[in-house]
Amino acid sequence: MKFRFAAAALSAVSILALAACGDDKGSTPAAAETGPVELRMTVWSANEAHLKMFNDIAAEYKTAHPNVSVKFDPLPFEQYTTTITTQIAGGNGPDLAWILEDSAPDFVGSGALVPLEKLENPDDLAPAATKLWQNGGKLYAYPFSTSPFGVFVNTDLLKQAGQDNPADLVTAGNWTWDKAFAMGAAVNAKTGTAGMVVRDFDYKTWSNLSAVWTGWGAQAWSADGKTCGFNAPEMVEAMTALHKAIFTDKALPGPGVSADFFTGQSAMTITQISRASLLKDAKFGWDLVPLPAGPKGKYAVVGQAGLGVLKKGKHAGTAADFLAFFTNPANSAKLAQYFPPARKSQLNAETLAKTNPLLKPAQLQSVVIDGISTGVVKPSHTSSAEIAQNVRASLDPLWKPDADVKSVLDTVCTGLKPLLAK
């Protein structure tokens, strides 16, 4: 009860904060300032390589705008959106912010962001990548990262466990979830090492499981956002397969068990190419392959991040000018090292390979380029904070060996129904 009350209260704060940001909706930000300005941009990555690249771009901007400095403020991923909205409610919101795809409808629909009218060559942006960030024909956040999920594999561990190479299975058309789960179980049984890990899930961030359940044709809710999909037959089948893989076959580590692929603690992990930098000094052989095919065939799931300017930020005009510079074609190519671009001219293996030296052109083509062209974006909805907390709490009973999958998923929809109806 306390958990659900806190989630509802937090959601109310978030919605009110964003609504307050939406005063004078659609107005144009003031012009860039001439006096000393320090912009604050919230990000959810504290990765040193990411921050160095951001600071290098900011330093280049400062050479032409000596009065402007930019501070990049990393916030913990799990509390990222709620931290920003709490800051906004307290009158201390950032000037610019990365925005998660799940909260895009709240930020874009509330009028919290200024329309982006200074972007360089906006016609180069792929329509599929900008759809989530538009309202009324205007773009309110730049999709600086449109990153499909793939599977990094430790080829040494798989070979040690007598398993096939996933790349060969992809070529033969046999790379499926049944096969992936079986391989994960075999690795655990024969080596004691974790098989498959859904990175950043940790039995909390349930939306990352969309990288799995989409293969069964399941979805969290209908396209119009009004009907719960958690207890639909496709989701029940997907979650039943996942539950068996965790608790019966031991293909995935259970709750409370940490296994980091990038330090050799698991044979496979589902994540995005921004993590490839962690393999720079890997002591094992590795590869990157697309998500396994599910009962509904091949598919791709995309995680997105938008970069927006807060309307009620202290320096909205200057922030909008910096955002245009940060996302221009030259800097977009730099960002592509970690964050796949939305610019059509840069969505090719040759361009991406220049800034992703650890990845082969074939890997970039099959996972990133093909994934962006065919993938579905992770779940998003208004009142995202409240929905996320509600689903997480309702799913907790699922992560037990004797869970009744259908009953738990029915409970998820009972809790979601009034929220989706708002």
Q: What is the DSSP letter of 282?
A: -
The H or E element containing residue 38 is strand 37-43
Tens digits of per-residue pLDDT, 318-344?
Answer: 999 999 999 999 999 999 888 888 899
Q: What is residue 156's predicted lDDT score, i.e. its pLDDT? A: 98
CB neighbours of 198 closer than 8 A, spacing ≥ 6? 208, 209, 211, 212, 252, 269, 270
pLDDT band of 26, cuts 50, 70, 90: very low
From CA 238, how far away is CA 210, in angstroms rounded? Answer: 10
Residues 108 and 6 in one domain: yes
Whether residue 249 is predicted with pLDDT greater than 70 in this model: the reply is yes
pLDDT band of 372, cuts 50, 70, 90: confident
194-198, strands of its sheet edge to edge:
194-198, 266-271, 150-154, 286-289
Average pLDDT over residues 380-403: 94
* Contact between 379 and 219 (Cβ < 8 Å): yes
Residue-averaged pLDDT of the chain: 90
Whether residue 230 is predicted with pLDDT greater than 90 in this model: the reply is yes
pLDDT band of 158, cuts 50, 70, 90: very high
The H or E element containing residue 72 is strand 68-74
Residues 210 and 106 in one domain: no
- Beta-carbon-side half-sphere exposure of residue 161 (alpha carbons within 13 Å): 25
Average pLDDT over residues 31-45: 85
Residues 272 and 312 in one domain: no
Whether residue 32 is predicted with pLDDT greater than 50 in this model: the reply is yes
Q: What is residue 273's predicted lDDT score, i.e. its pLDDT? A: 86
Average pLDDT over residues 390-415: 98
* Contact between 404 and 183 (Cβ < 8 Å): no
Residues 163 and 144 in one domain: no
| 3-state class (DSSP) for residue 75 | coil
From CA 65, how far away is CA 43, in angstroms rounded? Answer: 22
Cβ atoms within 10 Å, residue 25: 15
Q: Which of 27-31, 117-121, 248-252, 405-409 has the lowest mean pLDDT?
A: 27-31
Token output for 310: 């807060």
* Contact between 141 and 108 (Cβ < 8 Å): yes
Q: What is residue 77's predicted lDDT score, i.e. its pLDDT? A: 81
The H or E element containing residue 10 is helix 2-21
Write the secondary structure of 112-143 as one string of H (helix), E (strand) and C (coil): CECCCCCCCCHHHECHHHHHHHEECCEECCEE
CB neighbours of 416 closer than 8 A, spacing ≥ 6? 221, 228, 230, 387, 390, 391, 394
- Beta-carbon-side half-sphere exposure of residue 59 (alpha carbons within 13 Å): 6
More confident residue, 200 or 58: 58
Cβ atoms within 10 Å, residue 393: 15
Residues 230 and 118 in one domain: no
Whether residue 12 is predicted with pLDDT greater than 60 in this model: the reply is no
CATH of the domain at 163: 3.40.190.10
Residues 227 and 370 in one domain: no
Structural domain range at position 68: 2-148+303-377
Average pLDDT over residues 287-293: 97
From CA 265, how far away is CA 197, in angstroms rounded? Answer: 10
* Contact between 410 and 381 (Cβ < 8 Å): no
**Size (the chain), residues:** 422
Residues 321 and 227 in one domain: no
DSSP code string of 175-220: -BHHHHHHHHHHHHHHHSSEEEEETTTTTT-GGGGHHHHGGGT--S
pLDDT band of 350, cuts 50, 70, 90: confident
Residues 413 and 365 in one domain: no
Residues 274 and 312 in one domain: no
The H or E element containing residue 98 is strand 96-100
pLDDT band of 373, cuts 50, 70, 90: confident
Whether residue 13 is predicted with pLDDT greater than 60 in this model: the reply is no
Token output for 46: 């504290």
Contacts 24+ apart (CB under 8 A), 239-244: 239/213, 239/398, 239/405, 239/409, 240/405, 241/177, 241/181, 241/216, 242/209, 242/212, 242/213, 243/398, 243/403, 243/405
Residues 67 and 98 in one domain: yes
Residues 339 and 370 in one domain: yes
Helices (H), 261-335: 316-326, 329-335
Q: What is residue 1's predicted lDDT score, i.e. its pLDDT? A: 35
Number of domains composing the chain: 2
Residues 60 and 78 in one domain: yes
* Contact between 380 and 132 (Cβ < 8 Å): yes
